[in-house]
Structure 1
Amino acid sequence: MAARRPCPLAGSRVDGVLCAGLFSNVRVRWNRAGQVAAHYCVGVLLAAGEGSRFRAARPHDGDGAHKLLAALLDGRAVAQASASTLLSVLPDTIAVVGGQPPELATMLSRLGCSLLQAPPPPRGMGISLAAAARHLLARPAPGGQLPGCVVALADMPWVRASTLHQLLQHAGPDRIVAPAYQGRRGHPVVFGAAFLHELAGLEGDSGARALVARHGALEINCDDPGILMDIDVPQDLLTGDSSS
């Protein structure tokens, strides 16, 4: 049996990778070439938010005020750009959507996302993520192995596909992987399959913040400011680069 390779110590930097937290529970799978074996992952796009601050700034626009349908400088809708990037890397992507506006679900479905209806309001990011995790636990797993998930936010249209590829290179079944830009952690976040049961129990609007704090995350330094940029108010549409 080959000797187990040591995991980098918490806080150390190896090839531009920062290990944050204590990784006592990380099992890294190595192939015969000495490289980390890929961990199958599914994309999870959280698109069920109400966007209340954006809507408040456009009170007379009706459903047109939904930030995920608002147009970026390149003409694409916010959620269209976010979903397209995620789908380009992970064709198996689930979009968690609310009931309104129906045009959002239609657009995401046409792009290629599988749709998952979020629980009724009041809901938060944690509740939507829990619904996705329960869905992944319940559906047949490819090869009998549960997938990990790349959790992306639909209101972050400037994340680059190259960043997703970077994160997936470091994914593992017992590992949480997150991007960092200039020392700040951002989104999307990759959760190994071992965390699906904990994700399924999330509540409220804090997402998986407590889970990440409890287990630690492997932070991957990347040259992508889009991991920190979301759409919160209409003025945000005028910033950023929607190319991937």
Structure 2
Amino acid sequence: MPSDAVVALVLAAGRARRFGNDKRLAHLPQRGPLLAATLATLRPHFGEIRVVVGIEDDPVHLGIAKDIGTIVAETAEQGMGASLAAGIRMLRDESQAAAVAVMLGDMPWLSEATFALLCSRASDRAIVRPFYRGQGGHPVLFGRCFWGSLEQLTDDEGARSVVRRHRDACIEIEVQDPGVVRDVDRPEDLAWARHSGG
């Protein structure tokens, strides 16, 4: 059953210039565009999904289904922190969720078990982080009492500063899922997926 206690917020406002073109549209075998594939992995687990996009983005062109809400980050060029802050500001008014799962738009390889485990530990006063072989990954689930801090972010650091300030509230979960750390920065990052059919 999809979680109503946790809303998924997908950061997808960046065009990823390092990739060479719009990586959100990069094709995965049997799965379609990268961003759409990531959203498909979230659907079974979250009753609410919101995608943060840039001011010039067309959700239809990006393959975002009509029933998934979008949030426009007008200052997305400032970096991931600005995109996250824009998303949280909108969620504060629109969602009653106890926690938000902050997800990147280029991570379509997480397992169902990982989502279920992370959501089972979520609360309004906890920060839940997955780790794979000691490396921190996504999604990171922030309880509602940390949303005010997330709204203040302005740069490209993302939410690391919020995590550092609230280490006592962090629940770190080691998972056997490389999908929590596997994202796409360059075209070669997709090569293994094409070979494996994933």
**Pairwise CA RMSD:** 2.0
- The 1:147/1:105 distance shift into structure 2, 3 A limit, reads farther
Residue 23 (structure 2) aligned to one of 67, 70, 76: 67
Matched, 1:180 2:131: yes
Give 1:1-244 correspondences, 5 Å limit. 40-55=5-20, 65-102=21-58, 107-110=63-66, 112-139=67-94, 141-142=95-96, 147-216=98-167, 217-240=170-193
Q: How far off is 1:73 after superposition?
A: 2.8
Structure 2 unpaired stretches of 5+: none
Structure 1, residues 153-212: CA drift from partner, whole Å, max 9, x if none? 001121222211110111111100011111111111000011111111111110000110
Q: How far off is 1:122 after superposition?
A: 2.4
Structure 1 unpaired stretches of 5+: 1-37, 56-64
- Distance (whole Å) between structure 1 residues aligned to residue 25 and residue 70 of structure 2: 17
Greater Cα shift, 165-174 or 213-222? 213-222
Q: What one-letter code is carried by the residue in structure 2 that aligns with 1:154?
A: G
SS for the counterpart of 1:229 is coil
Runs of 4+ in 1 over 3 A off after TM superposition: 103-106, 240-243
The percent identity for this pair of structures is 35
- The 1:218/1:50 distance shift into structure 2, 3 A limit, reads same
- Number of aligned positions between the proteins: 192
- Distance (whole Å) between structure 2 residues aligned to residue 235 and residue 101 of structure 1: 25
- Distance (whole Å) between structure 2 residues aligned to residue 182 and residue 202 of structure 1: 28
Larger CA Rg, structure 1 vs 2: 1
In the superposition, the TM-score normalised over structure 2's length comes to: 0.89
Q: How far off is 1:108 after superposition?
A: 1.1
- The 1:75/1:92 distance shift into structure 2, 3 A limit, reads closer
SS for the counterpart of 1:43 is strand
Greater Cα shift, 220-229 or 234-243? 234-243
Greater Cα shift, 112-121 or 129-138? 112-121
- Distance (whole Å) between structure 2 residues aligned to residue 75 and residue 228 of structure 1: 19
Give the match for residue 8 of structure 1: none
- Distance (whole Å) between structure 1 residues aligned to residue 149 and residue 50 of structure 2: 19
Q: How far off is 1:214 after superposition?
A: 1.2
SS for the counterpart of 1:191 is strand
Q: What one-letter code is carried by the residue in structure 2 that aligns with 1:116?
A: I
